[in-house]
Every structure is written in structure tokens, then in C-alpha cells.
A and B are shown apart, each in its own frame.
Chain A
Amino acid sequence: MEFNDYEADQSRLYNLHHTLDKNSADSKNKVKKIWKITLWLSIITIIEVAIGLYCFYNHIPKTIPNVGFIVMTLLKAGLIVSVFMHLGDEVQNMIMTIIIPLALFIWFIIAFLYDGNFWLWINHAFSIK
């Protein structure tokens, strides 16, 4: 294949999926999966709001529920990225070029929240308002 072909017709170089039949079983299963994920996203959101309101009305500290909120948020994010954005269907190496840089967030969150906490502590220690 000539290099010029890359500019001329990219469809030969990767799959553009334009062969899916709307009425095929494959197509119908995909639509069914989309609605199933919608249901899950809605259920998780409703659970989150219900827990939040339960804690609010009963004056319960949200320390433990907060862990649940973060887990449920990551679960929702995973469903959106892998199914709605079709990242789950991509080549493994492509997935890794997205996921690995995002690992920086682990350091980012820990370092900055620790820093905020430290400044609160030092302000208390030296009675700075």
C-alpha cells in the first residue's frame, strides 16, 4: 500500500463499522445494552441522593458514606467511559495510553488534600485565623 493511500482513504486503514445492519440481532443487542447501562447509571444516582438525604435529615456524619460516594462515582465514570464512549472496544494499547496518564491523579489528590489539611493544622497550632 502506498503512503498516499493514508491521506486518500483512511477507511482502508481502520474499521469504520459502516456495515452494521439496523435490524440485525447484533444491533438490537447493542441498543439493549445502552438502555441497561442507562438504568444502572440512574439507579446508582438515586442511591447516592437517597444516602445523602438520609444522612442530612437524620444528622448522620457522612464520613463512611463519602467512601461509598467515591466508589459509586468511579463506577459510573467507568460505565460511561467503557460503554458510552466505547473505550472498552478499543485496542488494548490505546486504552493504556489514556488510563496510565490518569494515574497521576492518585498523587495529585493525595498530595494536595494532605497539604490543605496540614495548613489547617498549622493555623490551629499557631492560632492563626
Chain B
Amino acid sequence: MSLVAVDKKKVWSGGQSPFNLSYGKIMMWYFLMSDAFTFGAFLISYGTTRFFSNVWPDANEVFASFPWLAPNGGAPMAFVSLMTFILIISSVTMVLAVHAGHCRDKNGVIKWMIWTILGGIAFLSCQAWEWTHLYHHGAWWGSFRTMADGSIAHGASLAHFFSHNVPPDVATGVAGADAAHKFFNFFFTITGFHGAHVASGVVLNIILLLNTINGTYERRGHYEMVEKIGLYWHFVDLVWVFVFTCFYLL
């Protein structure tokens, strides 16, 4: 790092970037930091509600289906593990695109961006399947509310959401319905907010790919835009790491 040799006072006296970064990249970092607090607030409110509840759905029971292979359960965690793996791989192809950009290797950037976009679309498709699957079991925003007459819409599904040590009458009763109601409100809100980030990331990646093909960055003399969009894409993967832990593991 050339800055190390420079007198510390001179680093801040103008004529150079003290952080050795462009304005755009620094601002992307600070945007991501603020976004981390938004996601953090979501996940912590999920945790608070969970600590506040007597019973809570077991992720191994709720997320146990796999398209075609196990559409009616019996494969706990399998599908979400696949989704996690897809997102990790798309993060890897993104960092390879960033690396190709450092080398000013236009074809390399194009190749790895195409893989990254495919990974993002694959992840969103998986999420669409999972949401649809849960919706058909009665889970949605505001679902499993206890009515004034004591009945619960789709109440029969509740028995499948809880661990073996939760008595069936508790799981299908008011306590179970209330916990599932909160659980799915948080689940759809948080994975939805994350999915919106993935979707906008895919759009940004497509714009990036088109600009690369058009030679915009070649003419500009650098591929820094790949790094900036790359930061956003890695952040989306980073958030999923925490969503995965909070919703599926803990």
C-alpha cells in the first residue's frame, strides 16, 4: 500500500483519497452498512418475538419439502440448503467477475456476469416455489389468526409445523396458532425484503452485463462499476447467511 509510506498528516490534506477509494465505492459501503441495520432490526425483532413466545414452529418441520422429490415433506432443510448453496456460488462467480475486471478482461467479466445472473434467477425461482408451497398450506401474512368464535383458518396445517415435544392440542390451539401467525409474518416479510434485494441485484447485474458488452467500461479505462455492484451482490449473500441461521438453524 503506497499510502503507508506517506506522512499521516498529508493523507488528509487533499490531493488524494485518504481511504484510497472512490466516492462511489465508499458510499456503497455506507449504504450497505445502513442496510445491515435494517435487516438487523428485522431479525432482532424476530428474535424478540420468539423469546416472548411459549412455543415456536420448528424449521425442520416447516421447511421439509423439496420440488418433485419430496413435495409433501420428509426432506427437512434440503431445499433451503440448496438455495444457500446457489447463492454462495453466485457470490463466487461475482467475485470472479470482479477479478476479471481488475485484469481488464472483458470476456471474463461477461462470462462470470452471465453465471451470476443465472444464479440470482435460480435463487429467486427457488424462493417462488417455497413461498407457493407454504401458501398452499395456509401460510401467508396474517394467516393462522384465531377468530372470535375460536376457529383457526387452515388450523389443520398447524400440527405439521411444531416439534414432537409440543403437545398436539397446544400446537393446534391458540398458542400454536399465535406463534405460527407471528412466525410466518416475519418469514414472509424478511425473506421478501431479502428477495427484493436479490431481484434488484439481478436487474443491476443485467445492466452491468449490457454495459460491459457495449464496451462502456473498456472506454472508461476501468471496471470499477463491477466492484461496486459486486459489493451489493455480496451483501445480499451475506444477509442470506444470517437469515439462514436465524430462520432455519437456531
Contacts and interface: CB of A to CB of B under 8 A. Distances in A.
A32 B54 CA distance: 48
B60 A56 contact: yes
Interface in A54-81: 56, 59, 62, 66, 69-70, 73, 76-77, 80-81
B231 A129 contact: no
B102 interface: yes
Interface string A71-104: 0010011001101111000110110011001101
A84 B234 contact: yes
Interface string A18-58: 10111000010011001100100110010011001100100
B15 A1 contact: yes
A59 B165 CA distance: 9
B103 A21 contact: yes
B8 to A, nearest CB: 10
Interface in B2-18: 2-3, 14-18
Interface string B44-88: 110111111110001010000000000000001100010011001
Given A22-B108, A93-B18, A119-B52, A53 B76 contact: yes
A35 B96 CA distance: 9
B134 to A, nearest CB: 19
B108 A16 contact: no
A14 B108 contact: no
Given A16-B222, A31-B96, A85-B231, A41 B48 contact: no
Contact of B85 (A11, A18, A34, A45): A45
A115 B165 CA distance: 26
Given A30-B99, A76-B241, A101-B33, A91 B18 contact: yes
Interface of A: 1, 3, 10-11, 13-18, 20-22, 27, 30-31, 34-35, 38, 41-42, 45, 48-49, 52-53, 56, 59, 62, 66, 69-70, 73, 76-77, 80-81, 83-86, 90-91, 93-94, 97-98, 101-102, 104-105, 108-109, 112-113, 115-117, 119-120, 129
28 contacts: A10-B17, A11-B222, A13-B15, A27-B99, A31-B96, A34-B95, A42-B88, A53-B60, A53-B76, A53-B77, A70-B250, A73-B241, A73-B242, A80-B237, A84-B92, A90-B19, A94-B19, A94-B20, A98-B29, A101-B33, A102-B36, A105-B40, A108-B40, A108-B44, A112-B48, A113-B48, A117-B51, A120-B54
